[in-house]
Amino acid sequence: MILITGATGFLGRHLVPHLVGLGYPLRAVVRPSSDTQFLQKLGVELAYAEDITDVDALTQACAGCDQIIHAAGLFRFWGQPEEFWQTNVGGTTAVLTAAKNHPITRFIHISTIAVVGKPPTNRPIDETTRCNPLEP
């Protein structure tokens, strides 16, 4: 079973149907207030967390999963840096903390090109590229 965060966001709305189509069983961590109709129609199991930093809810959601795709995060060109930090860094930390309590064999973290800032023009961007965000 794959646990996915951010399933109701822009990336998740595209990634989840693709993974379901490939036959992967998914459990999505969602807020109780999220519109989950499309997930339910796809047969995705739901786990609820009021906030992506809720380690207890995330730990429960990880039960029975062996992989995690973490795609939850804030991205926009305005806002308070603390809000971005809490969600993007604190949320990732919480998901990793929850994962430590389970036999997770693969953790995929999906982020945004915005973390690179002004990308280098002389080489491809990959996991070794230094992050230098221009915005929070």
One digit per residue, the tens of pLDDT, for the chain of length 136 reads 999 999 999 999 999 999 999 999 999 999 999 999 999 999 999 999 999 999 999 999 999 999 999 999 877 666 677 887 888 889 999 999 999 989 999 999 998 777 788 777 788 888 788 887 776 5
pLDDT at 50: 95
Alpha helices (runs of H) in the chain, residue ranges in sequence order = 10-21, 37-41, 55-62, 81-84, 91-99
pLDDT at 111: 82
Tokens of 20: 């379901």
pLDDT at 114: 75
pLDDT at 127: 79
What is the Cα–Cα distance from 65 to 88, expressed in whole angstroms? 22
Q: Are 25 and 2 in contact (CB under 8 A)?
A: yes
Domains of the chain: 2-116 (3.40.50.720)
> Is this prediction's pTM over 0.95?
no
pLDDT at 7: 97
Tokens of 57: 């809810």
Q: Which of 24, 59, 96 is nearest to 7 (CA)?
A: 24
pLDDT at 88: 85
pLDDT at 115: 76
